[in-house]
């Protein structure tokens, strides 16, 4: 089961990259998928107490529990931890969640404008 963790991480980083850059892909079907993906992601986070399902799956694979926040520091803080690792800036809750939702709204607007502008 732990062999799946690198695959899960790769999927997580791919989802992050798509969430950050998908608005710029000049393919109508991709832009439509992007405009479905971002709200679905936001709803999933909100319903899952600001935690990503992929982090929960990682906790389950590593620790045998769907929620293992104490053992999995990324659970509910994946992006905040990524920002800290890359930029050495510590963003704490609830500010981190607010910033993520604001960024997603801005990126959604970029995607919607790109779709409207192109087609």
- CA atoms of 70 and 56, how far apart (whole Å): 12
Two tokens at 28?
């109508």
pLDDT at 72: 66
The pLDDT of 62-73, averaged and rounded, is: 73
Two tokens at 31?
């832009």
107, pLDDT greater than 80: yes
Instruction: Say if CB 91 and CB 84 are below 8 A apart.
Output: yes
For the chain, what is the largest distance between any 2 Cα atoms, rounded to a whole number of angstroms? 47
Q: What is the DSSP letter of 39?
A: H
Predicted TM-score of the model (pTM): 0.83
């Amino acid at each position: 089961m732990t062999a799946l963790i690198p695959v899960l991480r790769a999927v997580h980083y791919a989802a992050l990259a798509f969430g950050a850059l998908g608005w710029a892909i000049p393919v109508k079907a991709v832009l439509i998928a992007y405009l479905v993906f971002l709200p679905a992601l936001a709803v999933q986070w909100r319903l899952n107490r600001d935690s990503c399902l992929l982090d929960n799956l990682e906790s389950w694979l590593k620790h045998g529990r769907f929620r293992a926040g104490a053992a999995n520091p990324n659970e509910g803080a994946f992006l905040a931890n990524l920002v800290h690792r890359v930029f050495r800036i510590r963003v704490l809750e609830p500010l981190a969640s607010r910033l993520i939702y604001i960024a997603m709204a801005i990126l959604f607007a970029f995607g919607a404008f790109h779709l409207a502008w192109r087609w």
